[in-house]
Amino acid sequence: METTIQIKKHSKFAGDKDLEKLSREELIQKIQVLQAHNLQLQNILAKGKPTVKLEERKFHKPFDFSKCNFRHILLRILYLGWDYQGFTVQEDTTNTIEYHLFEALIKTCLIQNRESSNYHRSGRTDKGVSSFGQVVSIKVRSRLSKGDENNLDNEIDYCKILNRVLPVNIQCIAWSATDQSFSSRFDCKSRTYKYYFPKGNLDIEKMRIACKDFVGTHDFRNFCKMDVGNGVIKFVRNVLDFRIEPFINTDSEDEYSLYVAIISGNAFLWHQIRYMMGILFLIGGDKESFSLVKELLDVEQNPSKPEYTMANEVPLNLFLCEYDSIHWIYKENNLKCIIEKLNRTWLFHTIKGNMVKDMISNLNDYFPKESPQNLSQHLLSGVKVKKYIPVLKRQRCDSLETKIKHYSKRNRIEIIQN
Which residues are within 8 A (CB) of 156 and not within 5 positions of it... i.e. 6 or more apart?
110, 140, 141, 142, 143
| Distance between CA atoms of residues 153 and 177, nearest Å | 12
Element (H, E) at 20: helix 16-20
Active site residue 126: yes
C-alpha distances out from residue 120 to 28, 123, 139, 145, 180, Å: 38, 9, 10, 25, 11
| Distance between CA atoms of residues 217 and 233, nearest Å | 16
| Distance between CA atoms of residues 404 and 413, nearest Å | 8
Distance of CA 292 to the CA centre of its chain: 26
As to burial, measured by CB atoms within 10 angstroms (0-12 exposed, 13-18 middle, 19+ buried), residue 15 is exposed
| Distance between CA atoms of residues 285 and 278, nearest Å | 11
| Annotated catalytic residue, options 18, 64, 92, 126 | 126
The full length of the chain comes to 418
As to burial, measured by CB atoms within 10 angstroms (0-12 exposed, 13-18 middle, 19+ buried), residue 348 is exposed
Note whether 100 and 166 are within 8 A (CB).
yes
Note whether 310 and 127 are within 8 A (CB).
no
Longest dimension (CA), the chain: 75
As to burial, measured by CB atoms within 10 angstroms (0-12 exposed, 13-18 middle, 19+ buried), residue 211 is buried
- Beta-bridged to residue 196, according to DSSP, are 260
| Distance between CA atoms of residues 197 and 140, nearest Å | 39
For 108, phi then psi, to 5°, come to -90, 5
Sequence-ordered strand ranges (E) for 247-325: 258-265, 316-322
Active site residues: 126
